[in-house]
Amino acid sequence: MSSTILVIDDEVNVLESFKVFLKDNYNVLTTASGEEALKVIKKENIHLVLLDILMPEMDGIEVLRQIKELSPDTEVIMVTAIKTVKTAIQAMKLGAYDYITKPFDVDEVSSSIEKCLEKQKLVKEVAYLRAELSKPFVFDNLVGGSEKMHQLYEMVKEVAKNDTTILINGGSGTGKELVARAIHFNSPRKDYPFIAVDCATLPENLIESELFGHEKGAFTDATEQKIGRFELAEGGTIFLDEVGNLKPEVQSKILRAIEEKEIQRIGGMKTIKVNLRIISATNTDLKKAVEEDKFREDLYYRLNVIPIFLPPLRERKENIPVLVEHFLKIYNQKFGKKVKGISTLALEYLLNYDWPGNVRELRNVIERLVALEKEEIIQHKRLPLDIFLSYKKEKKPLPQEMSFKIARREFERQYFIGILEKTNWNQSKAAKLMGIHRNTLLYKMSLLGIKNPRIEPR
């Protein structure tokens, strides 16, 4: 969206001159007095003001002072026919960006405007980057090799091309933010900010201010103007995680942002146009919340244009080996370790566990294991107690009188059957889990008398 420039000058020909050479690149508004200009600034989101100093009734210096009181993030370039050092210093102290003289040079003015607006953009980007750097460590890509995940990848690629709203459903820790990031960074908005907001962790009395910002003096603790997340996400994507936690008045403002593409800061009178994409996520049943009058029905349908469901990790356990390998690489690099992998039995324990915390829990487990591991291979005994104790594997009771050779053969048989059952008797996957060639697996199955129950009874 084009930046909005307000030109303030009591000379009509000056206003027209500015309008002619600026209109192709900017949205240009003009006023002939300071009083009129302040009324405009209260109603419109002005990015830059070109302000004449010598004006009747209210001079440019006073107008500048009041502009900075009303809208501190609005930049001002002073324009005057008489340049004095004293006036220039006074203007700069009050927050003016630059000072140009009449008759102005078009190239000089254009250059000053471009630099000023670029500086304004950089200020927003710095605020965005500071917010990003304050987050805990996150992964920048999706990982998984199951059919469900491949379907998800294809959907992400497809919806990324469009600019509609998306609602991601999934339990805590399934990777909803990673999916939102993947959509953003594969979309035409990828060069603009991705702003994530966790609606579940923000205090209820701060959510509205965090999302939409506030003006100085809007409430007791509002000692200065604050730019909200919607403004910071300009041109990019805002991700509203756990959107079901929002209170009704905030839901109403988000609906307006979607339908009218505009917001208002708390305590502000002017509307601010926003150009962004909204992706939201929830781990609750929003449709049920609508039926119980806890969530606006109109907002639900506006958010749920394209729904994406993320299955829990227990329903896609075939992803676990790939995820483990990925997390090992990440945390080896983070901690300066050289852990090559985990043992076959340790992997079986991981495959056996139901992962109530989903991918986030698996990631945390691997981080802990790598941080504490001193060997190249992580053994099953190093696993957390809850995973170790939850391991369940049906075993035939072995007779007390049995030779070591026969006992070992029976153990091997039960072990191979367990892995095959974990992989739904997919021999290639089972061989990969055990770290052996498929031909070796077939040989051992034949030697141990193991038959695929899907083909013939064991």
Give CA–CA dist 267/205, Å, rounded. Answer: 15
User: In this structure, are 169 and 300 located in the same domain?
Assistant: yes
Contact 335, 328 (CB under 8 A): no
Asked whether residue 172 is domain-assigned, the answer is yes
Asked whether residue 240 is domain-assigned, the answer is yes
User: In this structure, are 278 and 266 located in the same domain?
Assistant: yes
Asked whether residue 137 is domain-assigned, the answer is no
Asked whether residue 142 is domain-assigned, the answer is no
Q: Which helix (H) or strand (E) holds 441?
A: helix 438-448
Strand partners, 50: 7, 77
Give CA–CA dist 216/234, Å, rounded. Answer: 21
User: In this structure, are 179 and 245 located in the same domain?
Assistant: yes
Residue 438's domain is classified under what CATH number?
1.10.10.60
Question: Per the structure block, which two tokens stand in for 218?
Answer: 């809007």
User: In this structure, are 121 and 9 located in the same domain?
Assistant: yes
Last residue of a domain, one of 359, 390, 421: 390
Q: What is the pLDDT of residue 136?
A: 39
Q: What is the pLDDT of residue 454?
A: 61
Contact 297, 309 (CB under 8 A): no
User: In this structure, are 426 and 290 located in the same domain?
Assistant: no
Give CA–CA dist 368/360, Å, rounded. Answer: 12
Q: What is the pLDDT of residue 37?
A: 93
User: In this structure, are 174 and 305 located in the same domain?
Assistant: yes
User: In this structure, are 166 and 303 located in the same domain?
Assistant: yes
Residue 171 structural domain: 147-311
Asked whether residue 46 is domain-assigned, the answer is yes
Please give the torsion angle defined by the CA atoms of residues 88, 92, 94 and 97, in that order, rounded to the nearest 10 degrees: 120
User: In this structure, are 84 and 176 located in the same domain?
Assistant: no
Give CA–CA dist 299/306, Å, rounded. Answer: 13
Please give the torsion angle defined by the CA atoms of residues 178, 182, 183 and 187, in that order, rounded to the nearest 10 degrees: 150
Contact 57, 24 (CB under 8 A): no
From the number of C-beta atoms within 10 Å of its C-beta (0-12, 13-18, 19+), residue 373 rates as buried
Give me the number of domains the chain comprises.
4
Last residue of a domain, one of 311, 346, 374: 311
Q: What is the pLDDT of residue 410?
A: 73
Contact 257, 263 (CB under 8 A): yes
Residue 120's domain is classified under what CATH number?
3.40.50.2300
Question: Per the structure block, which two tokens stand in for 19?
Answer: 């309008």
Q: What is the pLDDT of residue 141?
A: 46
pLDDT by residue for the chain (458 residues), tens only, comes to 578 999 999 989 989 999 998 988 999 999 999 999 999 998 888 999 999 988 888 888 999 999 998 888 899 999 887 666 777 788 888 889 988 888 878 888 899 999 999 888 877 776 665 555 444 333 334 555 556 777 787 888 889 988 899 999 998 888 898 889 889 988 999 888 999 999 988 888 889 999 999 988 888 888 888 889 999 999 999 999 999 999 999 999 999 999 999 999 999 888 899 999 999 999 999 999 999 999 999 999 999 999 999 889 888 888 888 889 888 998 998 899 999 999 888 888 898 899 999 989 999 999 999 999 989 999 888 888 788 777 765 444 545 555 666 767 777 787 788 788 777 788 888 888 888 888 888 888 888 888 877 665 44
Residue 196's domain is classified under what CATH number?
3.40.50.300
Q: What is the pLDDT of residue 57?
A: 83
Asked whether residue 136 is domain-assigned, the answer is no
Asked whether residue 138 is domain-assigned, the answer is no
Q: What is the pLDDT of residue 398?
A: 47
Question: Per the structure block, which two tokens stand in for 391?
Answer: 């391991």
Asked whether residue 153 is domain-assigned, the answer is yes
Contact 173, 356 (CB under 8 A): no
Last residue of a domain, one of 370, 390, 410: 390
Strand partners, 307: 167
User: In this structure, are 350 and 432 located in the same domain?
Assistant: no
User: In this structure, are 32 and 156 located in the same domain?
Assistant: no
Q: Whole-prediction pTM value?
A: 0.61
Q: What are phi and psi of 215, to 5 degrees?
A: -90, 155
User: In this structure, are 236 and 379 located in the same domain?
Assistant: no
User: In this structure, are 186 and 256 located in the same domain?
Assistant: yes
Give CA–CA dist 192/157, Å, rounded. Answer: 18
